[in-house]
Amino acid sequence: MEGITVALGDDPLAPGSRIGPYLLGGRLGEGGMGVVLKAEHAVLMRAVALKVMRPEIAADRACLDRFLREARAAAAVNHQNLVAIHDAGEVDGRTFLAFEFVPGGDLDAVLARDGALAPARALELIAGCADGLQALHEAGLVHRDIKPHNIFLDRHGRPKLGDFGLARDAGGADRLTMTGVGMGTPAYMAPEQANGDPGIDVRADIHALGGTLYTLLTRRIPFTGATPWAVVNAVVNDPVPDPRAVRPDLPAEVAAIVARAMAKRREERFQTPSELRVALADALAALGTGGAAVMPAAPAQTLDRTITCDLLAEDKPGSTSDSHPTVKVGPDGEVDAGATMAVAAGDWAGAPAGVMTSVVQTPAPKAAPVVPAERIDGDLTRGLEAPWIALVGDGCHVLLYARRQITLGKLCEAPVDVCLRKHPTTMFRDDCLRISRQHLQLRFDAPTNRLLLGDLGSGNGTLLDGAAMGPNAPQAIEAGGERRLHVAGALTLNLRAHARKGEPPASLGNDAGSVGDCGLDQSFAFDSAVLSRPDNRPGMAYALVLRRLSIGGPGSDLVLPQASGAAAELALWRGRWIWRPGPGAWQPLSDGLVVSAGNKRLKARVGGYDIFQTEG
């Protein structure tokens, strides 16, 4: 099996084809060096990000060495804040690397979707990256290309440093690049890296983390210019940017971290990632309430005026523009300095080597919130801080997700959130084998304020109100009426979306922590979306809790079977779960607390896949 390549049609990398033990899925990115695909190990049924090198590029020994160096760098250290490598090999002339598949996307995508981050969230993300960078440092490695695009979020929102294609031994023993050429991404390079200093060390990566923190706080790149070399000149000579010039409300402690991490002289920076980590922890403690709210996102405008420049050398007699990479710039001459200055082998980000696209984004204004007479009694930090909780009792299994999307399918592991095959009844389990591993996705799209339901290209399809859903063609779900889903002819689900009730409160009087992806502090058009199982398990339900949800008898957002009496209300505030048995003050929802939902008593716990194994 390890030596088998199976192609469907003319494309050897088409979905459904095989490379060794890996069943290929859709493409995640493509560049001059090769392609990155989502794939699944046929035996382990584990999702991976599979990097497949183009055969003609693999024939170039220098490019192949760089490719294999990425594998060795990733394999040299194991840490929760680093993307792990699972496998590397060559099958029928195709060289590949199999990396951990990280489902949360990269920080570039987060910024495009949500806008600049709250200070506390930005500090937390950089702190996690500093932990991963410390592990790299202790392994004797320098990353050399840290930027938002190379930081990924796992399903719990934890950051992971990835893309080790430029990583090298700190002593320079494995150096492959040209002397005097600064490999990396111009806007995030340290001055010594931009100058081609062969002796760069972890302090260059600390500089890049400082630049990344600046971007997370402002949604702007730290240095700009009309050409890559103009950006390099700015990196070397311009003052360190102060994020308070963009966001005057930012605390001085946060701006000071950016300034020190990005100091021009490496001796003036934090000397190790651990030292940076201590400063981040101190700043988080000083914030107390978690800082300002998330700045809103705005649609991106891609501009099309182009210039050409040679990234590696001056123009030579007889050279042609075809040999030069293309750089897209805006009308003000701003280049996307987030693009990587790369050798001719290219990159994996979806564009040929040297192609850079400028994106100009302007945050939209956010309406001032209305302050209702609501409050939290008790210590908010006692509330569950989990993206997934379960309420179990009196014949009910209610799973609540503090996420903007959930995936439903047959798998009982990531990346599926809701397992539709293993559930607390055995009667329908064989029928549920018809459900695909990843069958459906329910997603709230914040920029458009729409709730979307889509079939993920399942084998046996999905009916929505009796009509077949097209594969990978999400449909908008409106608030109000109930929609009926038939999944693979095996399972019926009822879906009901609930519109937002009230405006976001400015405070509940107990505001510890940072603004979360979901919660009462968000101005989403929806409060929740509920999926119930009317036929084969009426007591089981799943809910996407974007802001709040009521549970109980008739009239509740989520109606429990045989329930009566006043409904309980659950919500999220500053990333933690809260609840109340009726009108009045909110209370922290702690682990093991019993929620009274009318005549039902439901015990709260952190969610886990074991809930799907429970027989009932």
**Strand boundaries in 20-70, DSSP class E:** 22-30, 34-41, 47-53
Sign of the dihedral through C-alpha 223, 215, 364, 445: positive
Q: ∠171-173-174 over CA atoms, to 5°?
A: 120
Strand 396-401 relative to strand 388-393, pairing:
antiparallel
CB 157 within 8 A of CB 104: yes
Asked if residues 424 and 402 have their Cβ atoms less than 8 Å apart, the reply is no
Tell me the C-alpha to C-alpha distance, in Å, between residue 310 and each of 12, 33, 72, 344, 573: 34, 19, 30, 11, 51
3-state secondary structure of 360: strand
Contact between 573 and 508 (Cβ < 8 Å): yes
Name the token pair of 92.
Answer: 């029928």
Instruction: Name beta bridge partners: 22.
Output: 19, 41
Q: Is 145 a catalytic residue?
A: yes
For 606, the token pair is: 């952190």
- Catalytic, out of 114, 145, 163, 511: 145
C-alpha torsion 285→277→513→246, nearest 10: 90
> Can you name the residues that pair with 444 across neighbouring β-strands?
451
Residues 6+ away with beta carbon under 8 Å from 107: 125, 148, 149, 151, 152, 153, 159, 212, 216
* Residues annotated catalytic, as ranges: 145
